[in-house]
Amino acid sequence: MTRLKRSLRVIAAAALLLMMAGSAPAQDPTSFVLIDTFPHDSGAFTQGLDFMGRKLYEGTGRYGESDLRRVVLETGKVKRKIEKNQKYFGEGVTVFKKRIYQLTWREHVTFVYALDTWRVVKKLTYEGEGWGLTHNRRHLVMSNGTSEIVFRNADDFEIKRRIKVMDGDEAVTGLNELEWVKGQILANVWPTDRIVRIDPSTGDVTGSYNMSSLRAMESEDADVTNGIAYMSGSDRLFVTGKHWAHVYEVVLRD
């Protein structure tokens, strides 16, 4: 996309969101700008979303329905998929050091796949629940549904550091899908359509974004916002939700 076309699309998207502001919740109606829209499998209960280069990886949840898949962004087509045993509820996904990591919810297991073959090369265990997963190029970064985020060694899942996420004096619980973007952590906050930006050194919330106007464009069957993926090579950010028929490219506004 040329810079001119991208600028025109940003202007048009901003105008659309302003027109929608009257029907959307009053808080933060312009906390982001919609850039583009792409098709997405509405049957996917999205739990994790991540790019490796331009390849989009997605993890889905629910018992008997969980899988790991690689998706073509532009068409929504599933190019590759591995279904989980029905006893596992799939959760967050990240791609790190030629491996794909996928959490499970209450089964205390992280599946580690070889990026080229998709064969399980290792299973790592942990205490508590697994929710969101990303990495900072050094450690895996994980949420468990509370206000805590932990930094783990990728080889053995040993905890190296913990932070508690605070918005002022209030702990932010329900931290779900995570994405590392420009030295900050973006997190979906379950069960809302809110995304928070977190300072990884302190746990302080440094930004808050209301994505409910995107969910309003989905069907009545769509569940909450969940799924954040950053294409670092071209500085593009994408979000989706559970049972959403679209992935949205957005620019967050401060």
Question: Dmax of the chain from CA atoms?
Answer: 51
User: Residue 229 to residues 25, 71, 180, 239: CA-CA distances in angstroms?
Assistant: 24, 12, 9, 6
**Whole-number Å distance between alpha carbons of 234 and 239:** 16
**Whole-number Å distance between alpha carbons of 51 and 56:** 5
User: Residue 137 to residues 134, 151, 175, 179, 180: CA-CA distances in angstroms?
Assistant: 9, 11, 21, 12, 9
Q: Which two tokens stand for residue 250?
A: 């957005």
Q: Tell me the whole-structure pTM to 2 decimals.
A: 0.89
Q: Give Cα 79 to chain centroid, integer Å.
A: 20
What letter represents residue 83's amino acid? E
User: How many helices (H) does the chain have, and how many strands (E)?
Assistant: 2, 22
Residue 48: DSSP 8-state:
E
Tell me if 102 sits within 8 A of 68, measured CB to CB: yes
pLDDT in tens, the chain (254 residues): 544 444 445 444 444 444 443 333 334 545 899 999 999 999 999 999 999 999 999 999 999 999 999 999 999 999 999 999 999 999 999 999 999 999 999 999 999 999 999 999 999 999 999 999 999 999 999 999 999 999 999 999 999 999 999 999 999 999 999 999 999 999 999 999 999 999 999 999 999 999 999 999 999 999 999 999 999 999 999 999 999 999 999 999 97
- CATH class label, 3-252: mainly beta
- Ordered by start, the domain boundaries in the chain are 3-252
